[in-house]
Amino acid sequence: MDETPKDAPQDAQDADAARLLHLRQAQLPKGAPLALPLTLASMFQLPGEPAPGVPGYGRADNPTWEALEHMLEALEGAPALAFPSGMAAISAALFATLRAGDRLLLPSDGYYTPRTLASRFLERLGITVDTRPTSGFAEGGFAGVRVVYIETPSNPGLDLVDLPAVTEAVRSAGGISIVDNTTMTALGQRPLDLGADILLASDTKAPGGHSDLLMGHVATRDPDLLAAMRDWRTLSGGIPGPFEAWLLHRSLETLELRFDRMCTNAEILAAHLDAHPAVQDLRFPGLLTHPGHALAARQMRRMGFLLGFTLPSVEAADRFIEACPLIAPATSFGGVHTTAERRARWGDDVAPGFVRLSVGTEPAGALVAAVVGALDG
């Protein structure tokens, strides 16, 4: 059987998405609520000896997290652990795998906070940190690198890494590959099926989807890596709050609906932006002119909901963002509302007028009219 999920027929993908909605209900006794109850608890009734699978203390166990992780496991096709933010998931993956004397390789142009974490805290623990641009990530090979951190498509440049080729090269060099799948979600790309050892994502973005929570998760099929990341969570104390876990569980029930609309809107909008004279250097993996388009078509199920493009100046970019009634000026991405920002304001290595647009769930016709109207204006 071909395990490559890209090749999984649409009906199989639809069946998975439908099953996700009925996961909880399938196990319920008569009279139980269909909706997940929120368990706010630090203590649990615990007479006699502690037992595996019985909640004992709230830093180690919580039934709301477990329900969320059950859903994440079904989504990712692998055991998953929930964390209070994407960075908490990233910290768990790095601290669970690295030791003094190891080398860590990070993208030089992806999400910037892992680089800051590495230079501020990992280097002084004796870890050597190297960086490399996402385009050409495999150049130079992976010999001597303990952990290779991959982000594809990268945020904000939307450059791609060939996941089957790179994860295989990392494995044969004796390293561990970690893939940040935040920009795609499990519905758009399946890094574990494409060879990654650890998958992680910020659920603050599309999985949460309503700009009201921060969460993250890791998933892996390696039981030792899973146990190490669970221990990191319990011992560092960086645990999710039950309420955020509950909100994310609720959000996951509509992820497929939102993601589908967002990706379709992005495709429609990309065609209009591509044809607009004010727009330069449009980046979207779905465009035939994107340098990674053929790779995207091989390893991604959808082309995502992020677009990057350059307007002539800082002023033109700010004017566009402020003039469009269907764009909220905000950082972060993946929400139901279309949002945009000039990434140079955070020091990303992009043109001053570079805009990252996160396409939301607005009806396509209204969105196109508002965006093109603001560009024309």
Q: Please give the Cα distance from 134 to 65 (Å, whole number).
A: 34
Nearest to 353 by CA among 282, 265, 286: 282
**Interaction of residue 161 with ligand PLP, rule CB under 6 A:** no
Q: Please give the Cα distance from 107 to 101 (Å, whole number).
A: 20
**Interaction of residue 355 with ligand PLP, rule CB under 6 A:** no
Closest to ligand PLP by CB, 93 vs 170, is 93
DSSP class of 186: T
**Interaction of residue 149 with ligand PLP, rule CB under 6 A:** no
Q: How far is the CB of 202 from ligand PLP (least distance, A)?
A: 3
User: Pattern of binders to ligand PLP over 92-131, x per CB under 6 A?
Assistant: -------------------x--------------------
Q: Which of 5-13, 135-143, 165-173, 180-188 is the region at the interface with ligand PLP (rule: CB under 6 A)?
A: 180-188
Which of 78, 87, 122, 311 is in the footprint of ligand PLP by CB under 6 A?
87
Q: Please give the Cα distance from 246 to 67 (Å, whole number).
A: 9
**Interaction of residue 55 with ligand PLP, rule CB under 6 A:** no
**Interaction of residue 152 with ligand PLP, rule CB under 6 A:** no
247, burial (CB in 10 Å: exposed 0-12, middle 13-18, buried 19+): buried
Q: Please give the Cα distance from 50 to 211 (Å, whole number).
A: 38
Which tokens belong to 278?
């004010």
Closest to ligand PLP by CB, 161 vs 214, is 214
Helix (H) or strand (E) run with residue 362 in it: none
Which of 109, 151, 197, 267 is in the footprint of ligand PLP by CB under 6 A?
151
Q: Please give the Cα distance from 105 to 97 (Å, whole number).
A: 13
**Interaction of residue 244 with ligand PLP, rule CB under 6 A:** no
Residue 168's identity, in one-letter code, is: E
Q: Are 158 and 285 in contact (CB under 8 A)?
A: yes
Which of 155, 167, 310, 358 is in the footprint of ligand PLP by CB under 6 A?
155
Q: Please give the Cα distance from 64 to 206 (Å, whole number).
A: 20
Q: How far is the CB of 167 from ligand PLP (least distance, A)?
A: 18
Q: How far is the CB of 110 from ligand PLP (least distance, A)?
A: 6
Which of 152, 204, 338, 358 is in the footprint of ligand PLP by CB under 6 A?
204
Closest to ligand PLP by CB, 208 vs 242, is 208
Nearest to 217 by CA among 112, 59, 86, 78: 86
Q: Are 338 and 273 in contact (CB under 8 A)?
A: no
Q: Please give the Cα distance from 341 to 343 (Å, whole number).
A: 6
Which tokens belong to 304?
């995502």
Which of 109, 159, 180, 244 is in the footprint of ligand PLP by CB under 6 A?
180
Q: How far is the CB of 157 from ligand PLP (least distance, A)?
A: 11
Closest to ligand PLP by CB, 162 vs 203, is 203
Residues contacting ligand PLP: total by CB under 6 A:
14
Edge-to-edge strands, sheet with 354-358: 280-283, 306-310, 354-358, 339-342, 328-329
**Interaction of residue 339 with ligand PLP, rule CB under 6 A:** no
Closest to ligand PLP by CB, 55 vs 65, is 65
Interacting residues with ligand PLP (CB under 6 A): 85-87, 111, 151, 155, 180, 182-183, 202, 204-205, 214, 216
